[in-house]
Amino acid sequence: MDSQILEPSLYSVKAIMILDNDGNRLMAKYFDDQFPSAKEQKTFEKNLFNKTHRANAEIIMFEGLTCVYRSNVDLFFYVVGSSNENELILSSVLNGFYEAISQILRRNVEKRSLLENLDAVFLAMDEICDGGIILDCDSSSIVSKVAIRTDDIPIGEQTVSQVIQTAKEQIKWSLLK
């Protein structure tokens, strides 16, 4: 009998990260003490980015960890698990996180927009995973728990800047279609 058989665990996720197109951290949350210091975390993130930013794959084994990732415009989304973690589970976490962020940012998934809504993005991350345990992967469920959308506020109660921002986004998306 193989002594390497591991017990099943709920602690599936070791880290969730969003990096910019230079490999700098925009947000990251580590659920394991494999990288105890900020310096070790930054080194891991930089090495992971250098390995994945030109690749077209979605899954990579890196430093003994399973990493699934996705890029969009100027952002890179990563979900990291142990080497024996199921890639489909990690991928569903990544897809749920990305889709929730996309809905929160109203399909404007880029660095500037993410930084303007960082509070909602952190809340979404907390709704998805707590201490490495996956709580929810359904993007609409996550968004309903997190987002306060200005679309739902009557126009009479919105500030002028909110109305202008909504108009800009509607014009931008009508031009992109």
Q: What is the pLDDT of residue 69?
A: 93
Whole-angstrom Cα Rg for the chain: 18
CA dihedral angle for residue 52, residue 27, residue 110, residue 47, rounded to 10 degrees: -20
Say what the pTM is: 0.76
- pLDDT digits 0-9 by tens, 106-138: 887 888 888 888 888 888 888 899 888 888 888
- pLDDT digits 0-9 by tens, 13-42: 999 999 998 889 999 999 988 888 889 999
CATH architecture of 13-146: 2-Layer Sandwich (3.30)
145 token code pair: 């728990």
| Residues 6+ away with beta carbon under 8 Å from 17 | 25, 27, 28, 29, 45, 76, 77, 78, 80
Local structure of 154: helix, strand or coil: coil
Q: Structural domain boundaries of the chain?
A: 13-146, 151-177
CA distances (Å), origin 174, targets 11, 65, 138, 167, 169 = 43, 42, 27, 11, 8
